[in-house]
Amino acid sequence: MRHTLPLAPQFYVTAPQPCPYLEGRMERKLFTALQGEFAEKLNDTLSKQGFRRSQNVLYRPSCSECSACLSARIRVADFKLSRSQKRAWAKNRDLAREATSPWATEEQYALFRAYLDSRHADGGMADMDIFEFAAMIEETPIRSRVIEYAVSADDGRKELAVVCLTDVLEDGLSMVYSFYDPALPGRSLGTHVILDHVEIAREAGLPYVYLGYWVPGSNKMGYKANFAALEIYRGGEWRDLGDPATYSSETHPLSTDPIAEQVARISLPDTRG
């Protein structure tokens, strides 16, 4: 099904498929192509409205009876570390960070496979080969970076521990996808990479770090509520998360508006001049 705005990108809806976050649910996404000379402006504008990037596509959940997935971002100026996050930060002071252009390597893919096999063996990416992995990293029409974190081995060599594909937006950093060495569970590497992105954003004067979707009731995505100064996009605006316990993942036939109404409310960038 296609929905169109005048002089604007075309929006489509995916066919329902099993939800990766909540068992027994079916997910559906509203999406549009990210291409052309205004790709960066479109990405900036739609990211502020809860959309996420995957290669050259921007998407947002639009499930027929569920609205559990909520886009989340950290407000950098107000962020403070919790006690456990301070410990995670201290554990990883030895990590060496390097930001590069979005170019895939065999070392990255080996780490990616180890991460998937350990944490998401039954997920949608489980069968991704090295060519599909390279496409995920390299097919980006906007300003993206691969940020690598390495540990020093006993022989002095640097060993890759964490990789994060990050988009640079006009108002923040968007963590598109990250993965880490499952053989280092005591380091809390997933937490560290988020904390470090907050530091990078702060140093760059960027107000937000976009984390993707927070899903109450999901073991995979619930951890994002542990970060202070978290905002979620709900009802067409960003608001403080508040108490996570007040959010429900229950389904309801009226939980989402018709697709045409959703598309009509999307704000698009001004491409004049």
Span 73-243: which CATH code?
3.40.630.30
Strand arrangement of the beta sheet that strand 29-33 belongs to: 2-4, 10-13, 29-33, 57-61, 52-54
The pLDDT tens digits for 23-69 are 899 999 999 999 988 999 999 999 999 999 999 999 999 998 899 99
pTM of this prediction exceeds 0.85: yes
pLDDT at residue 273, rounded to an integer: 55
For the chain, 273 residues long, the average pLDDT of each consecutive 10-residue run is 60 93 92 93 96 96 91 98 96 95 97 87 75 96 97 83 98 97 92 98 98 89 93 95 90 83 91 64
Percent of the chain past pLDDT 90, that is, above it, reads: 74
Domain residue extents for the chain? 2-71+248-264, 73-243
Residue 156, pLDDT score: 72
Q: Is 6 left (phi over 0), alpha (psi -120 to 50) or beta?
A: beta
